[in-house]
Amino acid sequence: MSARYYLACDLGAESGRVMLGRLEDGRVELEEIHRFATVAVRLGDSLRWDVLRLWDDIRAGLRKALARGVAVESVSVDSWGLDYVLSGGGQELLSAPHHYRDPRSEAPFQRAQETPGAKRIFAETGIQMMHINMLYQLLAEQWRSPRLLLLADRFLNIADFVHYLLSGVARAEESLASTTQLYNPATRNWSDWLISFFGLPRHIFPEIVPSGTVLGPVRAALAGELGAGASLQVVATCSHDTGAAVAAVPAEEGEDWAYLSSGTWSLLGVELPAPRLDAAACELNFTNEAGYGGTTRFLKNIVGLWLLQELRRSWAEQGMEYDYAALSREAEQAPAFGALIHPGDGRFSKPGGMPEKIAAYCGEQGAEAPQTVGATVRCVYESLALQYRRTLEEIEAVTGRKITRLHIVGGGSRSECFNQCIADATGREVLAGPVEATAVGNVLLQAVALGHLESLQALRDTVRRSFELKQYLPQRQEEWAQAFDRFLGLGLSG
């Protein structure tokens, strides 16, 4: 097989990158061409995304990649979910899009819990109840900026918006649409009931296309600017970054494995053939997101390495600079089983003052707060690992599956200390890698869309051949069982 090349634009909540993928002889290789920050900006009392800077960085990365002179066949973009861009009146951008951590959606969320109620919304969408979901962001738009919605011709989620800028084709890719809490997994289309109930303008909802849809060539004018050939195709693979990452989980066939996409968020779940919309899934606050090929990503969103990102930011403001590798080393040196927190406490999802929040939480629980950087990071690692154990047990209870293996992909899979904590806490074999699973899934789903790979399983076989996985086996089970009992007694507030 001759080499084939693809470009992946992988946009995370902390950083973005343009990656060049090469597929040859059943193996895939990635090269990072351009990395950049995905910048949130304070504007008055709101938090916004700087999408113009984002688009500028994406174009810069594409120019660098195409200057290599290799025959790139396609490009695809993946991004975080929840956030969107409004266009209308001949304007590509009506306003700077809000960040999902902007507090504007909290009040609409609380009102929707009362009417029509969480159970009714879950039955319609199968999506975990979180105030950051796009449904509540649109309701905030409707209540606070009604004229903006009147001007809008459509919304597009972030990756879909970039696909539109690249191709001129405005579509909502299914995996990304499914995260909005406005998508019905039974009809595989927008929820007309919810749209009507809340009085949202139906015309702004774009056509949904399946994962792996070829949208068409790059716009002619843009192709000239980038130095691209007229045949460079834009592919909507899994535009949701977790969807792309789960597609690249190097699992063999069977039902005894779960995945953890470990980044800003921890997305922990299993792949199902159909959504679970029953009362147990609703009560335990699971989510059903669309995966490649009609699969369902049955998972829970857990506050993840956001905790470390915020700690790192606070320490940097105090003149203490740490990269993530250094933080992991500090944690390895710290004593085990010190302070614990519940990652689901509401205060931890909000930006700012993370060391103080952890200390305050520990004080409320009658425990001593961690006193060093290493002890604080160890607290985060162990607390998250114990939350994963609880979530895996809930998944087993709801689905009836017995999970023996956990695949960890994404940036969090780099930390040996964290991975070992997860194996120990969950009592399950952990297989870590690949780190760049989202970009790998993005690239190889392009290959499937263009007919260069035949199936999702062929994609996963390619991942296993291409990347070395590191195994972690459970240790210190009795001590971790005691820590789990402590964890189950922790309270929630905020």
Domains and CATH numbers, the chain: 4-241 (3.30.420.40), 250-433+454-494 (3.30.420.40)
Whether residue 245 is predicted with pLDDT greater than 90 in this model: the reply is yes
3-state SS string for 256-292: CEEEEEECCEEEEEEEECCCCCCHHHHHCCCEEEECH
Q: Which of 10, 78, 241, 424 is catalytic?
A: 241
Tokens representing residue 216 in the block: 């068409």
Beta bridge partners of 63: none
- Predicted confidence (pLDDT) per residue in 293-304, tens digit: 999 999 999 999
Beta bridge partners of 21: 6, 30
Predicted pLDDT at 491: 79
Whether residue 51 is predicted with pLDDT greater than 70 in this model: the reply is yes
Q: pLDDT class for 13, splitting at 50, 70, 90?
A: confident
Give the Å distances, CA to CA, from 482 to 35, 94, 339, 479, 486.
Answer: 42, 54, 13, 5, 7
Predicted pLDDT at 115: 96
Over residues 234-248, the mean pLDDT reads 98
Q: pLDDT class for 1, splitting at 50, 70, 90?
A: low
The one-character DSSP state at 91 is B
CB 351 within 8 A of CB 101: yes
Predicted pLDDT at 239: 98
CB 62 within 8 A of CB 224: no
pTM for the structure as a whole: 0.95
Q: pLDDT class for 492, splitting at 50, 70, 90?
A: confident
Whether residue 494 is predicted with pLDDT greater than 60 in this model: the reply is no
User: Is 78 in the active site?
Assistant: no
CB 446 within 8 A of CB 76: yes
How far, in whole angstroms, is CA 375 from its chain's centroid? Answer: 27
Question: In the chain, what percentage of residues exceed pLDDT 70?
Answer: 99
In this structure, which amino acid lies at residue 243? G
Whether residue 493 is predicted with pLDDT greater than 70 in this model: the reply is no
Average of per-residue pLDDT values in the chain:
96
Over residues 76-105, the mean pLDDT reads 95
Transcribe 18-31 into DSSP letters: EEEEEEETTEEEEE
Predicted pLDDT at 102: 94
Whole-angstrom distance, CA of residue 471 vs CA of residue 267: 20
Q: Burial, 325: exposed, middle or buried (Cβ in 10 Å; 0-12, 13-18, 19+)?
A: exposed
Tokens representing residue 468 in the block: 């070395």
CB 214 within 8 A of CB 450: yes
Q: Which of 38, 39, 35, 37 is nearest to 65 (CA)?
A: 35
DSSP SS3 for 150: helix
How far, in whole angstroms, is CA 227 from its chain's centroid? Answer: 31
3-state SS string for 206-274: CCEECCCEEEEECCHHHHHHHCCCCCCEEEECCCEHHHHHHHCCCCCCCCCEEEEEECCEEEEEEEECC
Tokens representing residue 448 in the block: 């499937």
Beta bridge partners of 272: 296
Q: Which helix (H) or strand (E) holds 466?
A: helix 456-466
Whole-angstrom distance, CA of residue 180 vs CA of residue 289: 9
For β-strands 429-432 and 470-472, DSSP reports them as antiparallel
What are residue 461's phi and psi, to 5 degrees? -60, -40
- Predicted confidence (pLDDT) per residue in 322-355, tens digit: 999 999 999 999 999 999 999 999 999 999 999 9
DSSP SS3 for 16: strand
- Predicted confidence (pLDDT) per residue in 374-385, tens digit: 999 999 999 999
Tokens representing residue 487 in the block: 């964890």
Q: Tokens 């343009």 correspond to what residue? A: 18
Transcribe 161-193 into DSSP letters: HHHHHHHS---EEHHHHTTSS-EETTTTEE-HH
Whole-angstrom distance, CA of residue 20 vs CA of residue 32: 6
Beta bridge partners of 299: 269, 287
Considering only the C-alpha atoms of the chain, give the largest distance between any 2 of them, rounded to a whole number of Å.
Answer: 65
CB atoms under 10 Å from CB of 44, counted, come to 6
The one-character DSSP state at 114 is I
Tokens representing residue 338 in the block: 């010190």
Predicted pLDDT at 147: 93
Q: Which of 466, 470, 473, 329 is nearest to 413 (CA)?
A: 470
Whole-angstrom distance, CA of residue 49 vs CA of residue 75: 23
How far, in whole angstroms, is CA 11 from its chain's centroid? Answer: 10
Whole-angstrom distance, CA of residue 161 vs CA of residue 463: 28
Q: pLDDT class for 39, splitting at 50, 70, 90?
A: confident
- Predicted confidence (pLDDT) per residue in 156-209, tens digit: 999 999 999 999 999 999 999 999 999 999 999 999 999 999 999 999 999 999
38 contact partners, CB below 8 Å, separation of at least 6: 11, 12, 13, 14, 15, 16, 49, 54
b/e sequence 291-322, b meaning 16+ C-beta within 10 Å = bbbebbbbbbbbbbbbbbbbbbebbeeeeeeb
What are residue 102's phi and psi, to 5 degrees? -65, 135
- Predicted confidence (pLDDT) per residue in 432-458, tens digit: 999 999 999 999 999 999 999 999 999
Q: Which of 185, 401, 177 is nearest to 276 (CA)?
A: 185
